[in-house]
Structures are given as structure tokens and as C-alpha cells.
Amino acid sequence: MSGSHGVTFPNESADYRAARHKLLDAEARLREQTEEVACLRRELPLGGVVKSDYVFEEGGRNLADNQTTKLVRLSELFQDEKDSLIIYSFMYGPAMNAPCPMCTSLLDGLNGNALHIRQRVNFAVVAESPLKRIRPFARERGWGNLRLLSSASNTYTADYHGQTPDGAQMPMLNVFTRRGGQIHHFYGTELLYAPFPEGMDARHVDSVWPLWNILDFTPEGRGTVWYPELRYG
């Protein structure tokens, strides 16, 4: 499908328009391929039944409340008759001095979108650190829309590849679905663990990460040496 159209911008040259139309054709192909991949994902058969009805520790979304905690099972994360659950594994393990800046950047964006996401599916963020370490950082970031859980007392993070066998934390996103009274794993961002070209990160969750998509629109691009930080200035 050609992406050609009649739109031009002020004072552009014929060379620019020719190059832009070539790029437009590539963008149109990418749009089609993106939908093809999404279709293949939706057509996946059910994955395995979850290993356990994991018990997480959760605090309320009132970030000023340091005391309220409760235990919540994986099955209880399915609410409002929504049968899909997305869980992002946040790289903040008990041995880490500070949370991962990359995960933090991603979650800054998802915090703003969480209210919209929860109109269609269940959504939570899990970290391996105890809740008493997660909550102060969440308060600093203003993550009032994220459902934040600690997996410090269960094996969820290791079982679903948010942690390597040697304990290193990994930024894994998993999707679970509830069918016939059972919870199945549906999808995981396994591209994280697949080989990738030199100079390119795994990009397994880039489609939901505003930072890199915005930078890809610019002449400088995302680059290969710059990464976000926890704090600036």
C-alpha cells in the first residue's frame, strides 16, 4: 500500500518530498506489520495455568499513607469482570541501592495512562523489594495511579522471568487471562531475552514507552549512549 497523498509543508524541496514519500511508504508498511503482530499475539493459544495463586503485599494508592498494607492474591487482581491482567516487573530488588532509572521512566508514563488502561484490563506493577522500600519512591514520583505490589514473599518474579537465576532483576511484562475458573499465562515480552543487534537494546516494551517513541521522530533519534536518570538538576 502506497502512503502517497497531496499534503506538503511550506518551502519544502522536491528532494525532500520524494524522500518523505519513500519514508511514508515504509511507515505504512510498519503500521500494517504492527497490526499483523498484534493479531498473531491475540491468536496465541492459552499458556500454562499459573504456578500459584501468588500472595503479594499491597499498600493503598494514597501515597501519603505509610501504614496501610494488605495481602492480595493474584486471583484478586482480576476485578470488574475484566479477564485480562497485565503485570509489569519493576526492577527494584532488595539488593539494589535505587530503582532502575529505565523502569522508572516507563512507569512515569504508565502512571498517567493507568486510569485509561484500567477501563479495559486489570493492571499492576510488581517489584521484588519489600513494600516499605517501594512506597517512599512511589510517593516521590507521584505514582498515585499505579497498583504497586511487592513480591518479596513469593516466587512470582523469578517464575515469570522478571529475575534471572542469579537474582538480577529484569524488566518483564506479562499478561494473564482468566478462563473457565482458571488463570493462564497468555503472553510475556520474551523479546527481552532474544538476541538483538549491536547498538540496539531489546526494545521489548518500547511500544508502551513514550520516551523512545518521541525521540525516534527527531533528527538525533534515540541515540545509543543516552539513558534516562532518576533525577535531573
Q: Which CATH class is domain 55-190?
A: alpha beta
Mean pLDDT computed over 198-220: 95
**At 64, is the pLDDT very low, low, confident or very high (cuts 50, 70, 90)?**
low
> Residue 61 is which amino acid?
R
Mean pLDDT computed over 130-136: 93
Q: What whole-number distance in Å separates Cα of residue 74 and Cα of residue 85? A: 9
Q: In the chain, what are the helix, strand and coil shares in percent, each to the nearest 5?
A: 35, 20, 50
Per-residue pLDDT reduced to its tens digit, 145-175: 999 999 999 999 999 999 999 999 999 999 9
Residue 2: predicted pLDDT: 57
Cell of 150: 511487592
Number of neighbours of residue 31 by Cβ within 10 angstroms = 12
